[in-house]
């Protein structure tokens, strides 16, 4: 398994340090990494073969050669495992640890990651879960097209809401998450159009 490090993470650390919000960023990164390792462990348990781990300003991302048991319920379990670990950490932190500022940050970070990752936007876990459900109902091609349009529309709405929040509370983390959402979406959109182009080329050959 290949491990890649994106040096832009250094710029992100400097940026949050300058805005005196470095502790929030580091806590965010730690629990994003735990989130992704939950995916990794479940993926391997289901027979998947991990390809690479990319460490980047937003935490890390995983890529698999294959996902092992390739059926609907296993894919849902794989996608839900990340948000589930954040939910469990949130519940444990809220009930068993003594109250302090770091505990509060841990609680809200994991609650935010749980809710954030269940947004129905590709390629967040919630978007992938919704896509899997739609694939069972309307097929692969229609679900792919619907999710690209739906993700972009939802992102525009979220961007409007986030913009108001950023102006009101002047929190760089909200801006960071908004940029992250668009970054993820454009990667997914590029994959979709490549997939679409390949499918059209195959049809022309047939």
Domain of residue 180 covers: 120-206
What's the pLDDT tens digit per position in 43-92? 888 888 877 787 777 777 777 766 666 788 888 998 999 999 999 999 98
Q: Which residues, 6 or more positions from 206, have their beta carbon under 8 angstroms from its beta carbon?
A: none
The distance between the two most distant Cα atoms of the chain, rounded to a whole number of Å, is 66
Choose the final residue of a domain: 89, 118, 147. 118
* Residues 166 and 201 grouped into a single domain: yes
* Residues 85 and 149 grouped into a single domain: no
- Which residue reads 């992938």 in tokens? 128
> Looking at the whole model, is its pTM more than 0.85?
no
Task: Return the pLDDT at 95.
Answer: 80
Which residue stretches of the chain have pLDDT < 70? Answer: 1, 65-69, 97-102, 169-173, 204-206
* Residues 1 and 67 grouped into a single domain: yes
Split into its structural domains, the chain has a count of 2
Task: Return the pLDDT at 84.
Answer: 95
* Residues 111 and 21 grouped into a single domain: yes
- d(CA 197, CA 43) in angstroms, rounded, equals 29
- Which residue reads 């996608």 in tokens? 79
- Our CA angle for 6, 12, 13, nearest 5°, is 105
Choose the final residue of a domain: 95, 118, 141. 118
- d(CA 165, CA 109) in angstroms, rounded, equals 17
* Residues 192 and 98 grouped into a single domain: no
Residue 48, token pair as written in the block: 């998947």
């Amino acid at each position: 398994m290949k491990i890649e490090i994106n040096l832009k993470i250094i710029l992100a650390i400097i940026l949050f340090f300058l805005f005196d919000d470095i502790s929030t960023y580091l806590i965010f990164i730690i629990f994003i990494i735990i989130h992704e390792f939950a995916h990794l462990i479940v993926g391997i348990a289901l027979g998947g073969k991990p390809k690479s781990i990319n460490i980047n300003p937003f935490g890390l991302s995983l890529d698999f050669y294959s996902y092992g048991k390739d059926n609907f319920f296993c894919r849902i379990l794989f996608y839900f495992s990340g948000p589930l670990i954040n939910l469990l950490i949130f519940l444990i932190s809220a009930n068993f640890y003594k109250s302090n500022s770091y505990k509060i940050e841990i609680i809200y970070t994991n609650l935010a990651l749980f809710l954030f990752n269940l947004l129905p936007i590709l390629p967040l876990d919630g978007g992938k879960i919704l896509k899997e459900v739609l694939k069972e109902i309307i097929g692969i091609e229609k679900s792919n097209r619907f999710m690209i349009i739906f993700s972009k529309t939802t992102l525009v709405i979220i961007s409007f809401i986030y913009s108001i929040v950023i102006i009101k509370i002047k929190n760089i983390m909200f801006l960071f998450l908004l940029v992250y959402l668009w970054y993820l979406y454009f990667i997914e959109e590029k994959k979709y159009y490549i997939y679409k182009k390949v499918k059209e080329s195959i049809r022309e050959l047939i």
